Amino acid sequence: NAGVTQTPKFQVLKTGQSMTLQCAQDMNHEYMSWYRQDPGMGLRLIHYSVGAGITDQGEVPNGYNVSRSTTEDFPLRLLSAAPSQTSVYFCASSYGTGETQYFGPGTRLLVL
Amino acid sequence: SQQGEEDPQALSIQEGENATMNCSYKTSINNLQWYRQNSGRGLVHLILIRSNEREKHSGRLRVTLDTSKKSSSLLITASRAADTASYFCATAAYGGSQGNLIFGKGTKLSVKP
């Protein structure tokens, strides 16, 4: 099993550009989530999904959209990138809310 | 909103010594989890302890949970240079969106050979 995969590994954007961060898991997990990690901070929840077709906002959702059309995929869209969105983004999945989470390797995003 | 707060923020020890990290939280929880993050990598789950458990072991790891004090500790025995990483606690409360994991800011552990 590949576990949780994320692409790209690294991306540079200009302010105002949009992009999609990809996340996929092959463990048939119902719960998937996106976090951002900033220096000296823990992880902050952006959006999460408890199953295909169901998404909800986390702690810091502004400027991001998600969708969950399949169990496997949970892309994160940046609508109009801002320098404040410079961060490392992690996708994770688990069998259920609050259970052990399996993390992807992360996407490092720099917005100029 | 940070639920878990780790202490200390940074810890430096010699190989072979034990490392203890603490986590305090504010509200009632369903479970508490510890994760490790090596520099530049994703988080790796170490151990999950439920609110009705007091202690769990996994290899060189020992986790305790005191729900009356709303605190947990992670003990790594006989540390190795490979244990150098950041360690995060995460809490999950009960019910719906409250069950989402909330992570602390982490303890940075450095184990010197």
* pLDDT for the residue numbered B94: 78
Q: Which residue of A has its CA nearest to B9?
A: A40
* One-letter amino acid for residue B40 of the chain: G
Indicate the average pLDDT of chain B: 93
Residue B83: both structure tokens together? 């244990």
Residue B35: both structure tokens together? 């994760």
Residue B1 has pLDDT above 60, yes or no: no
Rounded Cα distance between A110 and A96, Å, is: 31
A58 touches chain B (CB under 8 A): yes
R_g of chain B computed on alpha carbons: 14
**Do the Cβ atoms of A59 and B103 come within 8 Å?**
no
Q: Which residue of A has its CA nearest to B93?
A: A98
Q: Which of B44, B48, B100 sits opposite A97 (nearest CB)?
A: B100
**Do the Cβ atoms of A98 and B100 come within 8 Å?**
yes
Question: In 3D, which of B55, B68, B63 has the Cα closest to residue B28?
Answer: B68
Rounded Cα distance between A105 and A109, Å, is: 13
Strand partners, B35: B45, B88
B30 touches chain A (CB under 8 A): yes
* pLDDT for the residue numbered A17: 97
Average pLDDT, stretch B34-40? 94
What pLDDT, in 10s, does the model give residues B75-86? Answer: 999 999 999 999
- Best mutation target among A47, A99, A102 (most B Cβ atoms within 10 Å) is A99
Rounded Cα distance between B79 and A13, Å, is: 41
Q: Which residue has the tokens 């720099």?
A: A110
* pLDDT for the residue numbered B3: 67
**Cβ atoms B52, B45 nearer than 8 A:** no
